[in-house]
Amino acid sequence: MSRILHDDSLSLLTRGYGFGAHIWDRVGAGARSAPLRLLGREALLVRGADGVALFYDENRVARHGAMPAFVQETLFGHGSVHSLDGAEHRHRKSAFVDVAYADEQAARLDPLLEEEWQSELVDWIAGGERSAYDAAVGALGRAGMRWAGLPGTRAARTRWAARLAQVVDGFGAPYSPAFLLAVANRAWSDRHAQRLIEAARSGRLHPADGTALDVWAHHRDENGELLPARLAGVELQNCIRPLIAVARFVAFAAKELHDRPEWRARIAAETAERGTLLGGPLATAFAQEIRRTAPFVPVLPAWALEDIELDGRRVPEGGRVVLDILGTDLDERSWERSREFDPERFVGVDDYEALEAFVPQGGGSVPEGHRCPGEKLAISSLAAAVAVLSDERVTVLGRGLEVNRRRLPTKPASGGQVRSTAASAPSRCPIH
């Protein structure tokens, strides 16, 4: 009974993004590790560059089976690359690297992002009332599906994007109706993606070479066998769903831009001078600071393959090693003024992968480890959104920007309400 009472699993569900700070309070400021219990097992919470190096050392730590089943099955899908280790992981991961990490693949997405975000901007200027979050789900979903070689009308792509966004929204709340809806949308998406894979294999669809649909339809495992169509469809979704999940960052961008009009003005001037929504250094720095301060999840779990010690605290073989994502991205040892929102810290920083304590989408090596290969796509997508939201013809309203830090994942409550500047300007007539 005492073990149940001292288990920290419920605290993770109820404290959300405050979980890490709650655990660190037990061991004092500056600690790199803290003991806890999760799901009945001994665990060690780690943070900072040392914690990142430990967590991504495949000789000491394994990911397979560490993620709670309700998260793995709902968010990532059964049998996905996220649950693999060793040679099997590296082989499967190589396909993701080819699809999403290569510079030419990122460049292929750029014009689609420009087109879709320009469409959302035009709609806002004309009086549209979609939130920044909802607009991002549509724009990033449509751009990502076109980039992946998926067929469908604009409306069909928008509808599927909304389903995938809801999967992301509901996976972390197993006690709520949102989770049941996420399970249903996951099942629908798996069936739909499987049909696309089967159509590409049979010749009924002809995706362009190198697109995600082409790669996963023809990907073979390390034994030379085609992946089962359903699993190939799962990995196809893992190329586009993370892009749609960037919509949560976009909602935070709306909030931070509302609170920092000086940055909106600087980014608007930069965008006008460049003549494109893409690649602005200031917009990109702002996007990186959003990713640092508002990571998607607070922690990530793995298994200890041996007895592990860090900073004088141990976890036995078979226990959990838990990386504090938020605690690392806000680590006072790694960042000056770590709790301040300051995009200037990323101005001129091109090699973000070299920042050992910057892990909003995982750490370690992209080709060899578990770091997300889609970070380039996420950064360019978010930076384009920052440029759009800084346009002087639109404004972000101040209401509904509060954030529930207990919910996983979270975002500003309203998603960031965006309106035409002309429509939101006060009438000169006090009556009308």
pLDDT digits (tens, 9 = 90+) for 234-262: 999 999 999 999 999 999 999 999 999 99
The pLDDT of residue 313 is above 70 = yes
pLDDT band, residue 172 (cuts 50/70/90) = confident
CA–CA separation, 339 and 302 (whole Å): 27
The pLDDT of residue 427 is above 80 = no
Percentage above 90 pLDDT, the chain: 78
Predicted local distance difference test score (pLDDT) of residue 423: 64
Predicted local distance difference test score (pLDDT) of residue 176: 86
Is 403 among the domain residues?
yes
Q: Note whether 316 and 304 are within 8 A (CB).
A: yes
H or E element: which one contains 418? strand 418-420
Predicted local distance difference test score (pLDDT) of residue 174: 79
Is 161 among the domain residues?
yes
CA–CA separation, 282 and 269 (whole Å): 10
CA–CA separation, 186 and 165 (whole Å): 10
C-alpha gyration radius of the chain:
22
Lowest mean pLDDT among 40-49, 120-129, 415-424: 415-424
The domain tally of the chain equals 1
pTM of the model: 0.93
Rounded to 5°, angle at Cα 203 from 202 and 204: 95
Is 225 among the domain residues?
yes
The pLDDT of residue 380 is above 70 = yes
Lowest mean pLDDT among 63-67, 144-148, 278-282, 314-318: 63-67
Tell me the C-alpha to C-alpha distance, in Å, between residue 145 and each of 35, 211, 350. Answer: 43, 10, 27
CA–CA separation, 116 and 123 (whole Å): 11
Residues 6+ apart with CB under 8 A from 28: none
Is 431 among the domain residues?
no
Predicted local distance difference test score (pLDDT) of residue 28: 83
Rounded to 5°, angle at Cα 409 from 405 and 410: 45
Cite the DSSP H helix spans in 148-176. Answer: 154-170
Q: Note whether 396 and 135 are within 8 A (CB).
A: no
Is 429 among the domain residues?
no
Predicted local distance difference test score (pLDDT) of residue 323: 97
CA–CA separation, 140 and 332 (whole Å): 33
State the residue range of the domain holding 280.
2-424
Please give the average per-residue pLDDT across 155-181, as a whole number.
Answer: 92
Is 430 among the domain residues?
no
Mean pLDDT of the chain: 92
Predicted local distance difference test score (pLDDT) of residue 383: 98
185/2: higher pLDDT: 185
Please give the average per-residue pLDDT across 395-418, as a whole number.
Answer: 96
CA–CA separation, 278 and 269 (whole Å): 13
The pLDDT of residue 392 is above 50 = yes
Structure confidence by residue, pLDDT tens digits, 95-115 = 888 998 989 988 999 999 999
Q: Note whether 248 and 403 are within 8 A (CB).
A: no
The pLDDT of residue 431 is above 60 = no
Q: E-strand spans in 179-328?
A: 299-304, 308-310, 313-315, 320-324
The pLDDT of residue 424 is above 60 = no
Is 432 among the domain residues?
no
Q: The domain that contains 304 carries what CATH number?
A: 1.10.630.10
Q: Note whether 16 and 407 are within 8 A (CB).
A: yes
The pLDDT of residue 31 is above 90 = yes
Beta strands across the sheet bearing 61-62: 33-38, 41-46, 320-324, 299-304, 61-62
120/102: higher pLDDT: 120
Is 85 among the domain residues?
yes
pLDDT band, residue 432 (cuts 50/70/90) = very low
Predicted local distance difference test score (pLDDT) of residue 371: 82
Predicted local distance difference test score (pLDDT) of residue 80: 82
Exposure string over 124-162, b if 16+ CB within 10 A, otherwise e: bbeebebbbbbbbbbbbbbbbbbbbbbbeeeeebbebbe
For residues 333, 335, 340, 344, the Cα torsion angle rounded to the nearest 10 degrees is 170
Predicted local distance difference test score (pLDDT) of residue 39: 86
CA–CA separation, 221 and 82 (whole Å): 15
CA–CA separation, 74 and 167 (whole Å): 7
